[in-house]
Amino acid sequence: MYLPEKFIEKYTHLLGKEAEQFLETFESDPISAYRINPLKAGQKIFSDPIPNTPWGFYGKVSGKSAEHVTGLVYSQEPAAQMVGQVAAPKKGMRVLDLAAAPGGKSTHLLSYLQNTGVLISNEISTKRSKILVENIERFGARNVVVTNESADRLTQVFASYFDLIVFDGPCSGEGMFRKDHEATQYWHEKYPKECAKLQQSILEDAMKMLAPGGRLVYSTCTWAPEENEEIVKWLLDTYNLELLNIPKINGMVKGIEFSEVARMYPHRFKGEGQFVAHLRDTRQPEHKLRKMKAAKSNLTSEQLSLWQDFAKKHLAIKLSGLLQTFGDQLYLLPDGLPDLKKLKIARNGLHLGTFKKKRFEPSFALGVALSPNDVEQFIKIDIEQFEIYVAGNTISLPESLPNGWYQIVVEGNGMGFAKIVGNTVKNYFPKGLRFNF
């Protein structure tokens, strides 16, 4: 593949004896991988695990498979998986994924949180935020809000709020050259410096949102020192931060200037290019948190009654959180959030469903987020019926069932709710997600 001459010169100088081996990797295929979702039931035995990871496997996932449609697996290359693994939030934490699309790091963070605490998954691009929403919805987590904002706007709501911030910065993309050949076309010698300025400006806002004693995971998919070690040095010089050591697993190497950070080169690490730094705020956590305006419910008494009637009849668990409507749509927000009215919201927590005249209809997202143990009625379908259903067709059952809402379950995991009338399963699979085999 084509590589810019200045790029070759730069890494020949930086890598010395290893440069030839490094440059040869650009003639090989990129490495594909995926993670399994611990929030889902029906875990299968997958082959070719990525060493030293809790959920990672080498290989490709079909977007038409039942595993993908129900959120049991998520495609993410091995080096990118290391960011979430370094962050590894503990249950109950307040976490921000500042540049989240398409969702790999957010879904990884949600795997650790296990439906506790809160994740704000932010993406400034409206177009990319829609992809992020789709991927998070499929993953089935209940404790995440997707925002569509700039970092400076987030600071107005989340000052000193987060225990952990993950920022995978917009970068020169050198580590993606092998995966995306077009990325070489816009690379030039000064591009890393230009990207570093943008990263620095966003980090200035990120630091306003980090709680005293909190952690910051900073990463890029590039090898440029200007965007990596130089940004880390600036952070250490400017803020009350200390570097935490990242264990060097699976072929990771230490940084050019700091031994604590991790670099992933494709001739050493089986994956694409990545840089990760792990920092901790050294200020003492505040005993008294600053008072913030809390989010409030806005349901009418009729809406609350309709939701409670549905939940009593169809759910086997009680969902905790704050109920809010947006138009006729009902959402469940994680507890402990400030008022989000100032922000553009792409997904206001877990979408529960829609209020219609004198009734409530459950959402696809709710049926994906719940396990069969969480509902009163579900129906299992086989792979042949799955292929019929995702194409937008009804399913005929061998015998009639009582009319009503049922969770559709394939291979142990939910894929939405559907209404059964007699022996017919009506199709409620979202039109925008349908496909044919």
Which of 221, 332, 370, 409 is flagged as catalytic? Answer: 221
Does residue 214 have a known ligand-binding role? no
Is residue 167 within 8 A of residue 206, CB to CB? The reply is yes
DSSP state of 224: -
Three-state DSSP class for 435? coil
Does residue 100 have a known ligand-binding role? yes
What is the Cα–Cα distance from 128 to 168, expressed in whole angstroms?
15
What is the Cα–Cα distance from 131 to 346, expressed in whole angstroms?
10
The number of beta carbons lying within 10 Å of the beta carbon of residue 149 is 22
Is residue 349 within 8 A of residue 381, CB to CB? The reply is no
* Annotation marks residue 221 as catalytic: yes
Does residue 369 have a known ligand-binding role? no
Structure tokens at 351: 């979408």
Query: Which amino acid, residue 317?
Result: I
Does residue 168 have a known ligand-binding role? yes
Structure tokens at 391: 């194409």
Does residue 277 have a known ligand-binding role? no
Listed residue (40, 158, 42) closest to 98, CA to CA: 158
Does residue 104 have a known ligand-binding role? yes
Is residue 214 within 8 A of residue 167, CB to CB? The reply is no
Does residue 230 have a known ligand-binding role? no
Does residue 99 have a known ligand-binding role? yes
Three-state DSSP class for 307? helix
Does residue 141 have a known ligand-binding role? no
All residues at 6 or more sequence positions from 132 whose CB lies less than 8 Å from its CB, including other chains: 100, 101, 102, 103, 106, 121, 123, 146, 346
Give the number of C-alpha atoms closer than 13 A to the C-alpha of residue 366, restricted to the C-beta side. Answer: 29
Residues that constitute the known binding site for S-adenosyl-L-methionine: 99-105, 123, 168
Residues that constitute the known binding site: 99-105, 123, 168
Return the active site residues.
221
